[in-house]
Structure 1
Amino acid sequence: MADNTLRQLSHQVGEALGLLGATVTTAESCTGGWIAKVITDVSGSSAWFERGFVTYSNDAKHQMIGVGSDTLETHGAVSEAVVREMAQGALYAAGADYAISVSGIAGPNGGSEEKPVGTVWFGFASKQDGTVAHHQYFEGDREAIRRKSTEYALQTLWEEFLKNKLDTV
């Protein structure tokens, strides 16, 4: 099971989704399915999580969730445009109410001056609230960057999409 912070966030997100009668899907690149893993660590998560997409390669992003080849070529996999399309594509493909996407450079290789190791983009899509993207920079080794990305994704879904919706239930 995930560490306490990830465990707590997964339970919080799951409880909110359950109360809202909503579902979430993931489209993950640099986290390699870690977000889906901590979500499904929660017993009963099948009620609000049906599937996730690990779209590590550009071909997978294009084939599985419809990210445009031109978008990938123009902006690169680690970009706002790509995570927006990833989130929208996953939302549509899974028929979910919410989607989280993530693409980044976890290292130790692959960074550049423009996009150093630790650069991570997140997309969040909702049937009701549209799509937003966030950019973060995390320090640490590969494991730390991936873990921080997973935490950030769950925390942001909770704070920006779910917490306020619970007040209306």
Structure 2
Amino acid sequence: MGTINLANNLFQKLLQLNYLITTIESCTGGLIANLITDISGSSQVFWGGRVVYDNKAKIALGVDPSIIESYGVVSYETARSMAENGLLELQRSYMNNNNDKHFICVATTGLAERSHENNGNKEGGVCWIGVASSNKDTILVEKIDASALLSRKETKLEFAKRAIELVEKHL
């Protein structure tokens, strides 16, 4: 399915189920937010998003530095924490509003590009996606490996498309 159709389907489902979404993006650099906000009327379902590219930005969001130290920034644990903290931020913003909205957060952390250095320290083309929702106790976290044949831009788009699919799956 094309990217535009994926985003449109997600938009319709969020609207139908009365969800508000936030995005916390690292390796996708705001691409998920862009795909959602390209849709007319997206303000009905999109609260806002953050690009937390630097580790300090992830920590400012609420990711415990010990998670990054112990597991690495490109990890299940970091993606989970980013999704949890993004959801909490969204929920806090609506704490005093009496409404019937549900909330969901999608977070991405990874490396869009394989290292061209021969040091072997960086595993590229990998993304961890976390999805947390106010309606579910479980947080969905999935690792995505992109094809080595894709460019950096194509890899980011693959990660963003999969993130949209996972949000829809989590609903």
State the TM-score bracket (shorter-chain normalisation): 0.7 to 0.9
Equivalent residue, structure 2, for 1:147: 157
Q: Supply the AA of the counterpart residue of 1:161.
A: H
Identical-pair percentage:
31
Equivalent residue, structure 1, for 2:40: 43
Q: Does 1:120 align with 2:161?
A: no
Tell me: CA distance 1:153–1:56, structure 2 relative to 1, closer, same or farther (3 Å).
same
Equivalent residue, structure 2, for 1:133: 141
Task: Say which of 84, 87, 92 aligns to 1:88.
Answer: 84
Structure 1 distance, partners of 2:33, 2:6, is 13
Query: SS of 1:8's equivalent?
Result: helix
Structure 2 distance, partners of 1:114, 1:125, is 30
Structure 1 distance, partners of 2:33, 2:116, is 24
Give yes or no for contact 2:21–2:104 (8 Å, CA) kept in 1: yes
Q: Deviations over 1:37-64 (max 9, x none)?
A: 000001111011011010001000011x
Query: SS of 2:144's equivalent?
Result: strand
What's the C-alpha RMSD, in Å, of the aligned pairs?
A: 1.8
Max Rg structure: 2
Unaligned regions of 5+ residues in structure 1, if any?
163-169
Task: Say which of 48, 66, 81 aligns to 1:70.
Answer: 66
Equivalent residue, structure 1, for 2:170: 161
Superposition deviation, residue 109 in structure 1? 3.2
> Which structure has more helix as a fraction of its residues?
1
- Size of the alignment, in residue pairs? 157
Structure 2 distance, partners of 1:161, 1:107, is 27
Query: SS of 1:134's equivalent?
Result: strand
The worse-fitting range, judged by mean Cα deviation, of 87-96 and 70-79 is: 87-96
Unaligned regions of 5+ residues in structure 2, if any?
92-101
Query: SS of 2:87's equivalent?
Result: helix
Structure 2 distance, partners of 1:6, 1:13, is 11
Tell me: CA distance 1:134–1:110, structure 2 relative to 1, closer, same or farther (3 Å).
farther
Q: Does 1:106 align with 2:77?
A: no
Structure 1 distance, partners of 2:131, 2:53, is 18
Give yes or no for contact 2:20–2:103 (8 Å, CA) kept in 1: yes
Tell me: CA distance 1:161–1:110, structure 2 relative to 1, closer, same or farther (3 Å).
farther
The worse-fitting range, judged by mean Cα deviation, of 22-31 and 108-117 is: 108-117
Give yes or no for contact 1:110–1:117 (8 Å, CA) kept in 2: no
Q: Supply the AA of the counterpart residue of 1:138.
A: A
